[in-house]
Amino acid sequence: MNIFECKKLSIGYPEKVVCKDINFAVDKGDFVCIVGENGSGKSTLLKTILGLNKPLSGKVIFDKDFNRKLIGFLPQQTELQKDFPATVKEIVMSGFVGRMGWRPFYSSQEKDKADCVLKELGVYEHSSKSFKELSGGQQQRVLLARALCATDEMLFLDEPTNNLDGRSIKQFYNLISKLNRDNNITICMVTHDLERVIGNATKIVYMKDNIKFVGTKKDFLESEYAKNFGVEQEEIIVINNKGEE
Ligand code: ADP
């Protein structure tokens, strides 16, 4: 069943159409990779689906039982965020704010869930540290934990491994693949590292000038666009359910 579908969607800004006539659907459990050149509209597409930007025309239609306010979002990291003056636990708990309504305090279930997610992502021991003391890789895992507190269903990630070193990039992508496989969390991710994640992807959205390709991984690999990314079927690495290659 579709969680959402983009129908004849045009995205952009009042003075600029970025991309026209986008049509694709995302199903429960999908791992969608959005790839393409800088400025092609990948972030604008994510923000439009999230409801942060208005469509210029067309629609994003969500399943009636799905609340798009409960999508966990990991936006691109900014320099400002790195020095954010709060503890790891405070940042992770703030992921629940969208679900709290008028309730002023976190519930004990929310506190337990935050601990559980911090443990799952391997950053529990840093809970009471200041966010700015952590390495780039640890900071991204904390922000992922925050996004997971906002959702049980679906994560949107915008270039989540920018500014990470090779080892942290690999660990981070392993975590995302594990969340998709073991926790059945639907993933929509903008990435420049298609060759590292395509093994676990189900659908590819490739954007250039206007949208160029939307389809399954199989169709993408058979298309002319796959060559631009240096991905061939035999090179694909699939992460197993223990997060190992
Ligand atoms: P990508 O994520 O693929 O790098 P973006 O979605 O960030 O691309 O940007 C697509 C285009 O929209 C670019 O030409 C960019 O300059 C423009 N753009 C991005 N944000 C805004 C904005 N707030 N107002 C006007 N134009 C914008």
Amino acid identity of 143? L
CA angle 102, 106, 111 (to 5 degrees): 155
| Spacing, Cα 230 to ligand 1 middle (Å) | 26
Q: Does the beta carbon of 38 sit less than 6 angstroms from any atom of ligand 1?
A: yes
**Which pLDDT score, from 0 to 100, does residue 240 have?**
53
pTM of the model: 0.88
E strand or H helix that includes residue 219: helix 217-222
Token pair in block for residue 207 = 């954007």
Which residues are CB-contacts of 186 (< 8 A; sequence separation ≥ 6)?
Answer: 3, 26, 27, 28, 29, 30, 31, 153, 154, 155, 180
**Which pLDDT score, from 0 to 100, does residue 232 have?**
63
As to burial, measured by CB atoms within 10 angstroms (0-12 exposed, 13-18 middle, 19+ buried), residue 194 is: buried
pLDDT tens track, the chain, 245 positions: 689 999 999 999 999 999 999 999 999 999 999 999 899 999 999 999 999 999 999 999 999 999 888 899 999 887 667 778 899 999 999 898 877 677 778 888 999 999 999 998 889 999 999 999 999 889 999 999 999 998 889 999 999 998 788 888 888 899 899 999 999 999 999 998 888 888 889 999 999 887 778 898 888 888 888 887 777 654 545 555 455 55
Which residues are CB-contacts of 29 (< 8 A; sequence separation ≥ 6)?
Answer: 180, 184, 186, 202
Q: Does the beta carbon of 139 sit less than 6 angstroms from any atom of ligand 1?
A: no
**Which pLDDT score, from 0 to 100, does residue 69 have?**
82
**Probe target for ligand 1 pocket from 9, 18, 189, 191, with the most ligand atoms within 8 Å of CB:** 18
Q: Does the beta carbon of 42 sit less than 6 angstroms from any atom of ligand 1?
A: yes
230 φ/ψ sector (left φ>0, alpha ψ -120 to 50, else beta) = left
156 φ/ψ sector (left φ>0, alpha ψ -120 to 50, else beta) = beta
E strand or H helix that includes residue 79: helix 79-82
CA angle 25, 95, 73 (to 5 degrees): 30
